């Protein structure tokens, strides 16, 4: 059931992403567009846009205003992966089972394709805003604000820098939580919150969703750490043990596999409680929450 | 006179940029903030924000809405310089008389500081939009749209990619104009246009300003090419002959110094005519136009 839901939604998000890419004008060099599309359509699970769309769907009657936000956030996520994989950063050769962007297009084009995806994410969000009015526009702009803050210097990039500076540091769970919260947590939180904000939900609901998204954000990262050690390389599609290679500490290093799995399990329960607290009974969101907290390992 | 005008305005733009940087929350790692500020306050002439502010000033009564646009565009410009200087790109050691960002902070932090400045430019622009209403908001969003399109995949980044792909190509003036128009021209055009759009000017004025900004954008680039060959290294603050080093063709290669200077002179006259056509008599803009077309050589 969740597989069908994901399959349908991935296809839907991909169609919109293709439309946006097709709108880029004809002057753009083929190589730049190819490099952007190579990573954008490298087989991502589209969890962030799907979370955003499904939360938005739960609170609203129209999806029209959530589509550009969902595609914008996926472009921003994709740019962060391209730059993260660069030789000066994590120096990874594979991502989602394919060669990383710079291995195919060269470092210079990979840097620019990343820049272009970040910029284009903003473009498609802002381009939609000029056609709105009244409360629709007000909520929509606040949703963009949530996303741009989350992806920025005081959000995701803080996590990336802290991650770099943390290499070879001692095992310190506070630092690790800080990195996880910023590096992956902020954009997941923004996916959830902007989906709700764009529909003008109450502050009480937002408060619950902040807590909800923190739980699934952390669970998502711990599951990723577990998969990095025990996962099936073909299934994950990137080099396993990359954390070990990069001397990065993870939950698994500190707590071991079993304890890490039980932490994820607790986080999932708490996340589901927060959904219940704000009266979200949408079974797709509940299943999606379970999926995020329990990807195969 | 132009010197005093520039000095006053540079100081004004710097103050606003400092305020925005101070607003970044306390979680941000010092090294990231230092790297962002290092390049943002490396002594740029602030031509883009000053153009934007002065054009806006000519058409409007309040500068309030043009400040975030001006600072946003300067952050976007600064990010493009940091990424342009990277080893995988132009591999430059000096910029504005100081070591380039990656020489001081390392490639990883330089990439992220660039990303953070691009993102923060969008953040400060969008953050201001949520406080506006009515026509003010409508014009302001259209101005952001102008800037984000100009800095993106079909704008400045197209120029950067074309520049990379053009290395060692034959002398081809159409290609060179294409690169100049996108790589430097788009952001200069956006500075001029967004300053006017935010004040809700007529389509006739926009049309003249499009032509005006194309002339000064091209002139600006040719002057830069001339300075790269004959300029005083200390005054310019970067390695001279970098175009030659990078095998990049310029106006000077194709036309020689004298002919290039006379092309700049013609462009300046045409630019001043376009100002006159849309009835701009503001002496600061006229002097600024002359300054852009006649930096010391």
**Does the CB of B158 have a partner CB in chain A at under 8 Å?**
yes
In this prediction, residue A297 has a pLDDT band, given cuts at 50, 70 and 90, of very low
Residue A295 has pLDDT above 80, yes or no: no
Distance of residue B282 Cα from the nearest chain A Cα, in angstroms: 30
> With contacts defined as CB-CB under 8 Å, which chain A residues touch B122?
122, 148
Residue B238 has pLDDT above 60, yes or no: no
Tell me the per-residue pLDDT of A86-134, one tens digit each, with 9 for 90 and over: 999 999 999 988 999 999 999 999 999 999 999 999 999 999 999 999 9
How far, in Å, CA of A154 to CA of A177, rounded? Answer: 15
Among A87, A152, A194, the residue to mutate for chain B (most B Cβ within 10 A): A152
Closest to B2 (Cα-Cα) out of B269, B294, B284, B280: B284
**Does the CB of B167 have a partner CB in chain A at under 8 Å?**
no
Reported for B95-102, long-range contacts at CB under 8 A and 24+ positions apart, including other chains, are B95/B39, B95/B42, B95/B237, B95/B238, B96/B42, B96/B43, B96/B44, B96/B237, B96/B238, B97/B43, B97/B234, B97/B237, B97/B238, B98/B38, B98/B42, B98/B43, B98/B237, B101/B35, B101/B38, B101/B39
Residue A243 has pLDDT above 70, yes or no: no
pLDDT of A172 reads 81
In this prediction, residue B96 has a pLDDT band, given cuts at 50, 70 and 90, of confident
Mean pLDDT of A153-175: 84
Q: Cβ–Cβ of A148/B158 closer than 8 Å? A: no
In this prediction, residue A69 has a pLDDT band, given cuts at 50, 70 and 90, of very high
Mean pLDDT across chain A, nearest whole number?
A: 92
> With contacts defined as CB-CB under 8 Å, which chain B residues touch A154?
24-25, 27-28
pLDDT of A238 reads 57
Phi then psi for residue B7, to 5 deg, are: -60, -45
pLDDT of A96 reads 83
Selecting from A89, A114, A129 the residue whose C-beta is nearest the C-beta of B108 gives A89
Number of domains in chain B: 1
Tell me the per-residue pLDDT of B103-140, one tens digit each, with 9 for 90 and over: 999 999 999 999 999 999 999 999 999 999 999 999 99
Q: Cβ–Cβ of A120/B25 closer than 8 Å? A: no
Q: What is the ipTM of this complex?
A: 0.95
Residue B38 has pLDDT above 50, yes or no: yes
Tell me the per-residue pLDDT of A191-231, one tens digit each, with 9 for 90 and over: 999 999 999 999 999 999 999 999 999 999 999 999 988 87
Distance of residue B4 Cα from the nearest chain A Cα, in angstroms: 34
Distance of residue A207 Cα from the nearest chain B Cα, in angstroms: 20
Question: Which 8-state DSSP code applies to residue B250?
Answer: -
Question: Comparing A29-38, A99-108, A247-256, which segment has the lowest mean pLDDT?
Answer: A247-256
Question: Comparing A7-11, A31-35, A237-241, which segment has the lowest mean pLDDT?
Answer: A237-241
Residue A136 has pLDDT above 90, yes or no: yes
Selecting from B106, B112, B152 the residue whose C-beta is nearest the C-beta of A123 gives B152
Residue B61 has pLDDT above 90, yes or no: no
Tell me the per-residue pLDDT of B258-268, one tens digit each, with 9 for 90 and over: 999 999 999 99
What's CA B10's distance to the chain center, in Å? 14
> With contacts defined as CB-CB under 8 Å, which chain A residues touch B149?
123
> With contacts defined as CB-CB under 8 Å, which chain B residues touch A120?
152-153
**Does the CB of B282 have a partner CB in chain A at under 8 Å?**
no
pLDDT of B219 reads 96
A211 CB-near residues (< 8 Å, 6+ apart): A270, A274
Residue B294 has pLDDT above 90, yes or no: no
Distance of residue B233 Cα from the nearest chain A Cα, in angstroms: 27
How far, in Å, CA of A164 to CA of A179, rounded? Answer: 10
Selecting from A112, A162, A182 the residue whose C-beta is nearest the C-beta of B157 gives A112
**Does the CB of A106 have a partner CB in chain B at under 8 Å?**
yes
pLDDT of A61 reads 73
Closest to B51 (Cα-Cα) out of B228, B262, B220: B220
Residues 132-151 of A with CB under 8 A from B: 137-138, 141-142, 144-145, 148-149, 151
**Does the CB of A107 have a partner CB in chain B at under 8 Å?**
yes
Residue B232 has pLDDT above 70, yes or no: no
DSSP letters for chain A: -HHHHHHHHHHHHHHHHHHHHHTS-TTS-HHHHHHHHHHHTS----HHHHHHHHHHHHH-S--TTHHHHHHHHHHHHHHHHHHHHSTTTT--SEETTEE-HHHHH-HHHHHHHHHHHHHHHHHHHHHHHTT--HHHHHHHHHHHHHHHHHHSTTTHHHHHHHHHHHTT----HHHHHHHHIIIIIHHHHHHHHHHHHTTT--HHHHHHHHHHHHHHHHHHHHHHHHHHHHS-HHHH-S-TTHHHHTT---HHHHHHHHHHHHHHHHHHHHHHHHHHHTT---HHHHHHHHHHHT---
Residue B237 has pLDDT above 80, yes or no: no
**Does the CB of A118 have a partner CB in chain B at under 8 Å?**
yes
pLDDT of B235 reads 57
> With contacts defined as CB-CB under 8 Å, which chain A residues touch B151?
119
pLDDT of B228 reads 84
Tell me the per-residue pLDDT of A184-198, one tens digit each, with 9 for 90 and over: 999 999 999 999 999
pLDDT of A78 reads 98
Residue A173 has pLDDT above 80, yes or no: yes
Among B87, B118, B154, the residue to mutate for chain A (most A Cβ within 10 A): B154
Tell me the per-residue pLDDT of A255-277, one tens digit each, with 9 for 90 and over: 999 999 999 999 999 999 999 99
Tell me the per-residue pLDDT of B184-203, one tens digit each, with 9 for 90 and over: 999 999 999 999 999 999 99
> With contacts defined as CB-CB under 8 Å, which chain A residues touch B111?
83, 86, 88-89, 111
Asked if residue B195 lies in contact with residue B52, where contact means CB atoms within 8 angstroms, the answer is yes
Among A23, A76, A112, A124, the residue to mutate for chain B (most B Cβ within 10 A): A112
Pick left, alpha or beta for residue A152 (phi over 0 → left; psi -120 to 50 → alpha; otherwise beta): beta
pLDDT of A101 reads 98
Mean pLDDT across chain B, nearest whole number?
A: 92
Q: What is the CATH number of the domain that holds A90?
A: 1.10.600.10
Residue B212 has pLDDT above 80, yes or no: yes
Question: Comparing A15-19, A42-46, B143-147, B231-235, which segment has the lowest mean pLDDT?
Answer: B231-235
Half-sphere exposure (Cβ direction) of B287: Cα atoms closer than 13 Å: 11
Of residues B242 and A204, more confidence is placed in A204
**Does the CB of B30 have a partner CB in chain A at under 8 Å?**
no
pLDDT of B60 reads 86
Percent of chain A with pLDDT over 90: 81
B119 CB-near residues (< 8 Å, 6+ apart): A118, A148, A151, A152, A153, A157
> With contacts defined as CB-CB under 8 Å, which chain A residues touch B27?
154, 158, 178, 182
Question: Comparing A61-75, A146-160, B12-26, B159-173, which segment has the lowest mean pLDDT?
Answer: B159-173
**Does the CB of B107 have a partner CB in chain A at under 8 Å?**
yes
Q: Cβ–Cβ of A115/B83 closer than 8 Å? A: yes
Residues 42-101 of B with CB under 8 A from A: 79, 83, 86, 88-89
Domain that holds residue A226: 2-293
pLDDT of A235 reads 57
| Smallest CA–CA distance from B137 into chain A, residue | A130
């Amino acid at each position: 059931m969740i597989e069908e839901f994901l399959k349908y939604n991935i296809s839907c998000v991909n169609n919109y992403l293709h439309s946006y890419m097709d709108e880029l004008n004809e002057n753009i060099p083929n190589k730049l567009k190819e490099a952007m599309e190579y990573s954008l359509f490298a087989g991502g699970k589209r969890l962030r846009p799907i979370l955003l769309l499904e939360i938005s769907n739960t609170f609203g009657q129209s999806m029209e205003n959530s589509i550009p936000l969902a595609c914008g956030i996926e472009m921003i996520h994709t740019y962060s992966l391209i730059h993260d994989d660069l030789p000066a950063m994590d120096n990874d050769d594979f991502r989602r089972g394919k060669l990383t962007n710079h291995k195919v297009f060269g470092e210079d084009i990979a840097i620019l394709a990343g820049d272009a995806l970040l910029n284009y994410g903003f473009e498609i969000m802002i381009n939609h805003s000029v056609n709105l009015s009244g409360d629709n526009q007000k909520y929509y702009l606040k949703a963009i604000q949530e996303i741009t803050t989350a992806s920025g210097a005081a959000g995701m990039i803080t996590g990336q820098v802290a991650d770099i500076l943390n290499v070879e540091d001692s095992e310190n769970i506070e630092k690790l939580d800080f990195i996880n919260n910023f590096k992956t947590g902020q954009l997941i939180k923004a996916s959830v919150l902007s989906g709700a904000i764009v529909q003008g939900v109450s502050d009480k609901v937002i408060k619950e969703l902040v807590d909800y998204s923190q739980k699934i954000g952390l669970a998502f990262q711990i599951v990723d750490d577990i998969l990095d050690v025990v996962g099936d390389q073909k299934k994950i599609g990137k080099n396993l043990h990359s954390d070990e290679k990069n001397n990065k500490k993870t939950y698994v290093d500190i707590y071991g596999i079993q304890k890490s799995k039980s932490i994820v399990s607790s986080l999932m329960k708490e996340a589901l409680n927060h959904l219940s607290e704000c009266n979200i009974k949408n079974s797709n969101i509940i299943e999606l929450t379970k999926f995020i907290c329990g990807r195969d390992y």
